[in-house]
Amino acid sequence: MIIKYVKYLKSTERRKSQSIASLKLNTKYKLACQYKNNMQQMSDNNVQIFDTTLRDGEQVPGCKLNTDQKLIIAEQLEQLGVDVIEAGFPVSSPGDFKSVEEISKLVKNTIVCGLTRAVENDIKVAAEALKYAKHPRIHTGIGTSASHIKYKFNSNQDAILERAFEAVKFAKRFVEDVEFYAEDAGRTDNEFLARVCEMAIKAGATVLNIPDTTGYCLPSEYGAKIKYLKENVKGIEKAILSCHCHNDLGLATANSIEGVINGARQIECTINGIGERAGNTALEEVVMVLKQHPYLNLDTNIKTEHLYGISQLVSENMGIYTQPNKAIVGANAFAHSSGIHQDGVIKNRETYEIINPKDVGVTESAIVLTARSGRAALAYRAKNVGYELTKLQLDAVYANFLDFADVNKEINDTDIHQIIETSKVYQQIISA
């Protein structure tokens, strides 16, 4: 009896120490996995730039482009370094079909994407338009918010889950790379959105697009949505989460940035932020936010020195004027007009500029002369057109300048010559 009890004690001890050892091993294994995940996350710091200027941007009234114009822009987008060009919505018109087909032939390294609804014929037509693409992607999806399900589809959640699955599965027959969009995800309940995402992943989606279609979300809310999906969608490691934010409340850039901070790895955007209603996320803005905040440890493949050129190209071709105070690419983005700012910038550009204009393809900062400008700005601009003024000469010319500037909004180089030539000290200046 005693021997039996001792044996029992010994075996319990053995089991205990075995389970402690296996617990230690498990913990070690878990830590190793965690480390691996962290390392993956750390090296996975590339944010893909998905440009939809030619699709979401071009659908704006008055922005219509012909195929030749689209080809010119697509070529420049590839030069810029975008990862994906959404070239159009092929089933929408023969013209759009042709543009997607021609862009597919032209583009070499960039993914070319065509939009569809969760409709078999749309998907077939898109696959046909993309058949020459070296890297084709089909972008299919369906509305998932309560309002879309009720009013657009007169349907229910189960039927939407089924359609999401079937659409992705069908698209996978034609291409490997299938992106799924949950339209109006911004206003979709997170639990249901997670189920939709799981369905799309099960069917083989490589990218999950989470559009804030109506531009409704706050940055914290949109970031939390992405985090929720990262943490709650089964199989999420098989797909990339993508931000597609509209700008109805002026929050598109902030929302996209919150999205990538919380784990998304693709941003959908347009040049100059053009797009439906108040527009889409502006490509140049999100790219420069990530570049100017390197501690976020998020990079893009964009060659930022092309940003200004492509902004001009899109604006000219679409006939859409860019507001002068537009961030990064507006005419005033690197122009200084108040005397205090001009004095600072002339002494050191960084006093009032957080971006080197050359980094975005703008040759130099501008010192704009208005009645609010001071002597430092006038001396600087006068020097640029060939006059080195002494302090006394500057005082005299400045008085003349203020009279002139009070009646003329902005003083150009020709005006500077005239101001100096009509000043009392002109004779001294040229004889100096």
Interacting residues with ligand KIV (CB under 6 A): 56, 181, 183, 209, 211, 213, 244, 246
Cβ of 174: how many Cβ atoms within 10 Å?
16
For Zn ion, the closer of residues 56 and 184 by Cβ is 56
Q: How far apart are CA 290 and CA 260, in angstroms?
A: 10
SS3 at position 102: helix
- DSSP state letters, 105-126: HH-SSSEEEEE--S-HHHHHHH
Q: What dihedral angle (degrees, nearest 10) is formed by the CA atoms of 125, 131, 137, 142?
A: 10
List the single partner that 209 binds among Zn ion, ligand KIV, none, CB under 5 to 8 Å by kind. ligand KIV
Chain centroid to CA 239: how far?
A: 19
| Structural tokens at position 94 | 């023969």
Residue 75 vs 248, nearer CB to ligand KIV: 248
Tell me which of 56, 102, 258, 343 binds Zn ion, using CB under 5 A. Answer: 56
Q: Between 70 and 244, whose beta carbon lies closer to ligand KIV?
A: 244
CA distances (Å), 398 to each of 45, 349, 426, in order? Answer: 52, 23, 12
Instruction: Please give the Cα distance from 234 to 174 (Å, whole number).
Output: 25
Choose the contact partner of 308 out of ligand KIV, Zn ion, none; CB within 5 to 8 A by kind. Answer: none
86 or 177: whose CB is closer to Zn ion? 86
x-or-dash string of contact with Zn ion, 246-285, rule CB under 5 A: ----------------------------------------
Between residues 210 and 378, which has the closer beta carbon with respect to Zn ion?
A: 210
- 280 and 252 Cβ atoms separated by less than 8 Å: yes
CB of 215 to ligand KIV, least distance (A): 9
Choose the one of ligand KIV, Zn ion, none that binds residue 265, judging by a C-beta under 5 to 8 angstroms depending on kind. none
Taking the complex as a whole, the smallest distance from the CB of residue 211 to ligand KIV amounts, in Å, to 3
Using CA atoms, how far apart are residues 229 and 236, in angstroms rounded to an integer? 8
Instruction: State the minimum distance, in angstroms, from the CB of residue 269 to ligand KIV.
Output: 11
Residue 52 beta carbon to Zn ion: minimum distance, rounded to whole angstroms: 7
The three-state secondary structure class of 174 is coil
With CB cut-offs between 5 and 8 Å by kind, which of Zn ion, ligand KIV, none does residue 101 bind? none
Q: Smallest distance from the beta carbon of 275 to Zn ion, in angstroms?
A: 6
Query: Buried b vs exposed e over 107-120: b needs ≥16 C-beta within 10 Å?
Result: beebbbbbbbbbee
Min dist. Cβ of residue 216 to ligand KIV (A):
11
Q: Which is nearer to Zn ion, 56 or 58 (CB)?
A: 56
Question: What residue 270 binds from Zn ion, ligand KIV, none (CB within 5 to 8 A, per partner kind)?
Answer: none
Tell me the CA distances in angstroms from 30 to 23, 193, 235, 424, one per residue in order: 10, 29, 18, 83
DSSP tally for the chain: helices H, then strands E: 16, 10
Check binding of 184 to Zn ion (CB under 5 A). Answer: no
For the CB of residue 273, give the shortest distance to Zn ion in the complex, in Å: 12
- For 95-200, where are the E strands, in sequence order? 111-115, 136-143, 177-183
311 binds, among Zn ion, ligand KIV, none (CB under 5 to 8 A by kind): none
Looking at the Cβ atoms of 56 and 177, the one nearer to Zn ion is 56
Give the total of residues touching Zn ion (CB under 5 A). Answer: 1
Residues 168, 200 contacting (CB under 8 angstroms): yes
Question: Residue 279 or 357: which CB sits closer to ligand KIV?
Answer: 279
> Residue 183 binds which entry of ligand KIV, Zn ion, none, with Cβ cut-offs from 5 to 8 Å by kind?
ligand KIV
Q: Which of 46, 58, 65 has its CA nearest to residue 272? A: 58
Q: Give yes or no for residue 179 binding Zn ion (CB under 5 A).
A: no
| Identity of the residue, 225 or 246, whose beta carbon is nearer to ligand KIV in the bound complex | 246
Q: How far is the CB of 75 from ligand KIV (least distance, A)?
A: 24
Binding residues for Zn ion, rule: CB under 5 A, are 56
